Amino acid sequence: MTALPGDPRRRHFLRAGTLCSLGAGLAAALPAAAARMPPSPLARVRGGRIAGQTEHGIHVFRGIPYGADTAPRRFQQAVQEAPWRGVRDALAWGPAAPQTSGEGPGSEDCLYLNVWTPALRDGGRRPVLVYLHGGAYNNGSGSDPLYDGSALCRRGDVVVVTVNHRLNVFGYLYLGGLGGEAFADSGNAGQLDLVQALQWVRQHAGEFGGDPGNVTVFGQSGGGAKIATLMAMPAAQGLFHRAWTMSGQQVTAAGPRAATQRARRVLEHFGLRDPQALRTLPMEALLEAVKLRDPSWVEDTGLYFGPVLDARHLPTHPFWPQAPLQSAAIPMVIGNTRDETRAFLGHDPRNFALDWETLPAKLEREQFVDLPASEVIAAYRRMYPHYTASEVFFAATTAGRSWRGAVEELEARARQGAPTWAYQLDWYDRGGDADRLRAFHTLDIPLVFHNTRQPGSRTGTTASATRMADAMSDALLAFARHGDPNHGGLPHWAPYSLQRRQTLVFDDDSRLQDDPRGGERRLYAQVPFVQRGTS
């Protein structure tokens, strides 16, 4: 049958003929294209063989299991992943932990990590950098674009690893006080996942061209707090050799009394008496617990989850009354950003319109320190007479909420004589909306990763941003390689001491400064420090 012009059958024949022609052309082209494509990089890990992909010269393996599905062992220490046959694709991110954030709902089968490396099995003994994500102990994962390790690999010839682990009620609900030995691991299960991940890194560093004897853990916000906690956990001793924390401290842990009080609240919410019943609740139902009001706070704040002083896995508070003895020889960098709380409080336009009459009540609610707001405001007006009421608000909440833990850790390390460097990020890309948020919480993440052009970065892409990324990422790389963050692009960065409190201020004119914001430090030193949520 002949198809005439305009006949639908003619269009079908023409399309079929075109596809046949394309198919023949593709068939001829495929061998040439395949020859040009780099072969999938293959690695052997304890579970079996894995296939990654090469991206701009860096071998990337995503979603490598380092533990088994935690659902059958909810609230218990995880076990190793089951082995597999053949080659397992490591091309996609593993599931995030169960959570209520945008990455949720997640999965209890969440023990996965990701690796970026310049080479495999070449005996390169490169420094290994393991990043622990933020999100307090409640949310987040190792797959954020800002954590892409490619730039660090290319810039510093290092191996980069990011990790997922159990969070919130699944990783830090302490049931040991109510359920006995069967729940002895529950309050620190998320930390034990990190220990297991670091054990995996030590076992496999050589396969990925890394040095198992030179592992740096680095992390921001909750990631830094997790690192501070690991430094006091006997099970983590020897698994890492340098620590770099950014706006994340853990001075005290939750005591067993407070942690048990929270566990009771969870049981009451579900109408249960026996903690065993929590093991079989659907994951999505159990996640409701993160929305419960915390009994220790006045304002309506979600239930606190974090490491627990369980006399088993965490025998002492991480940094009180002293820095952990087991980590005294580990070089450490402790940093914060100059305007931390603008990330949390800077999205409410009313906070930029405060006056001296409305400031006291607002500050009373948000500074998290038991000092009279009137005394705090008077002190700031003496120290910074040019500040507006809103500038006092952001500065005081930063010093009272975010910065105090860093000072506590720095002082504890200095008393110990442990090698420690302090930094403060003052830099931000001046102009426009950046002038409102300034050097806000999380701004240093894309700078240390040198990922200023990645989705989610709010550094801008100016020459100034590139210079700051050069300075901060090179400091991290120098620290990972030598245990000292100094490099040729910075003024000399002296370790922190109680006599001078030396701090590297990262800015367009980066400089070493003695005791920056010393007046603010002395103001808040009038009251004892207990990490919020741990009592």
Which residues are catalytic, by number? 221, 340, 441
Cβ neighbours, 10 Å, residue 12 = 11
Cβ neighbours, 10 Å, residue 87 = 14
Q: Where are the alpha helices (DSSP H) in 384-462?
A: 389-397, 404-416, 434-437, 444-448
Neighbour order of strands in the sheet with 48-51: 42-45, 48-51, 87-89
Count of CA atoms in the C-beta half-sphere (13 A) of 329: 5
Contact at 8 Å (CB) between 41 and 54? yes
* Distance from chain centroid for Cα 203: 23
CB-count burial class (<10 Å; 0-12, 13-18, 19+) for 372: exposed
Q: What are phi and psi of 311, to 5 degrees?
A: 60, 20
Cα separation, 61 vs 57, in Å, equals 13
Beta bridge partners of 87: 49
Cβ neighbours, 10 Å, residue 24 = 10
Q: Where are the alpha helices (DSSP H) in 373-517?
A: 373-383, 389-397, 404-416, 434-437, 444-448, 463-482
Nearest to 142 by CA among 50, 218, 229: 218
Question: Who contacts 129 (Cβ-Cβ below 8 Å, separation ≥6)?
Answer: 149, 152, 158, 159, 160, 161, 215, 216, 218, 476, 480
Contact at 8 Å (CB) between 307 and 188? yes
* C-alpha distance across the termini of the chain, in Å: 86
Q: 210-220 and 420-425 as β-strands: parallel, antiparallel, unpaired?
A: unpaired
